[in-house]
Structure 1
């Protein structure tokens, strides 16, 4: 994978197709391939005339994996997005984020609205503001000597996922300490770009999408039927809603 440098870290990325750019920001413990290629998102976006840009967040995939929690605040990770757009010579892009990636997208849209044509917050509802209640359990699960020691369901879920992706669990634990930083309500209200908030009906990690959409000046919400946090990622309803939202706010004919 090609790489770019952001704040002395080397991050891996891939560019898929040609057309109007969509920057895809994956969730915690995942990577660009698992979150966006394996779920069919890249195929969906490129088939609709978009260029899908995927990358591995710091601490994930083939990107550098520092163990210092101070390096994982969402505002810092949003600067990685800017560095990648700069590296590719892209002025404005739509941003598609899932879970932690949606939190990063929110901080990006707040700090750099001139770079974000539209944003999609998948798997992130009102907990953008309220924070993640299971974070400490997830950290303990990542640092536990073995999976069989864990009884907390969310901790087990993320430990299994981390082992499946061959992740650096200490880097992920450091990431979880600070990447879940809540966004202030006042800052959410100042995000002026169009936003789609999409959350699974059975998602008990994200918080309600409607409540977050009400805070955002230009937002709409979609509830994905019968899906939990993990299974919403590649859901057909989510993809269809995202494409319809992009068509209204950043159509494929747009030149960035």
Structure 2
């Protein structure tokens, strides 16, 4: 057989093998169904369950695994459950903004607990994930033992003022001329993670829906509100904690919105909170 022809066959066989391997890897991703969507999740460890809900433009892996949260929770004796929200990670990504209200994604979180046969869990959310956690704690109180709202203070009620700028940044053809700092930050982050920017833009339209102050007052589970000292996106944690019947605030020292996610002090405060409100 000519050497060139043999090399071509070898390359074709390698390509077929890699395609098969990728397909098998995709098949191995644990998924569940919610609202007609296929959503991905991961579970690590044993013990009492902590459902981790990631922030906008992130994923379970980026928000919780890569930052050491899963390792921290498992090391403390908990079972860490990470979810890829609709529009993110390995989950389905609809382009219809009407599919991304926080109530819809709170139902996804409950559907995952149902899928896993879990009656009640602690919920750890960051940024958008904290908003989802708040709606979950309000509407499905019996399923939530306690909650941690990371990267979300009074803007749970006041809303996100930069939302339209973030949408424009996500849909812009490139970074050139994109000067709004928050929009530029999220666009770079989305490009870095290979996210579907059209799905993210649809998500931003409706997932930032504020929660009514009266509803915040009716969240009757223990809540830790943890916000970075230099976080300009979340709003202050203290006033939100004061509205919550069982709220307490924690300021993450010297951290902004992006850098607070995996902060050691944040993890320490969260574990201490869980030890009191959801002991292993």
Rg (Cα) greater in structure:
2
Q: TM-score range by the shorter chain?
A: over 0.9
Question: Could you say what secondary structure the match of 1:46 adopts?
Answer: helix
Structure-to-structure mapping, 1:81-100, within 5 angstroms? 81-100=109-128
- 3-state DSSP class of the match of 2:230? coil
Q: TM-score, normalised by structure 1?
A: 0.98
**Partner residue of 1:224 out of 252, 262, 268:** 252
Q: Deviations over 1:64-121 (max 9, x none)?
A: 0000000000000000000000000000000000000000000000000000000000
Alpha-carbon distance, 1:45 to partner: 0.1
Unaligned runs of at least 5 residues, structure 2:
1-28
Determine the structure 1 residue equivalent to 2:222.
194
Cα RMSD over matched residues?
A: 0.4
Q: How does 1:1-256 map to 2 (within 5 A)?
A: 1-252=29-280
Measured after TM superposition, the shift of residue 2 of structure 1 is 0.6
TM-score normalised over the length of structure 2: 0.90
Q: Within 2, Cα distance between the matches of 1:5 and 1:125?
A: 31
* Deviating 4+ runs (over 3 angstroms): none
Cα distance in 2 for residues equivalent to 1:7 and 1:224: 36
Q: Matched residue of 2:146: which SS?
A: strand
Q: Report which structure shows greater RCO (CA 8 Å, sep ≥6).
A: 1
Offset, 1:55: 1.2
Residue-pair matches, total: 252
Deviation at 1:149, TM superposition (A): 2.4
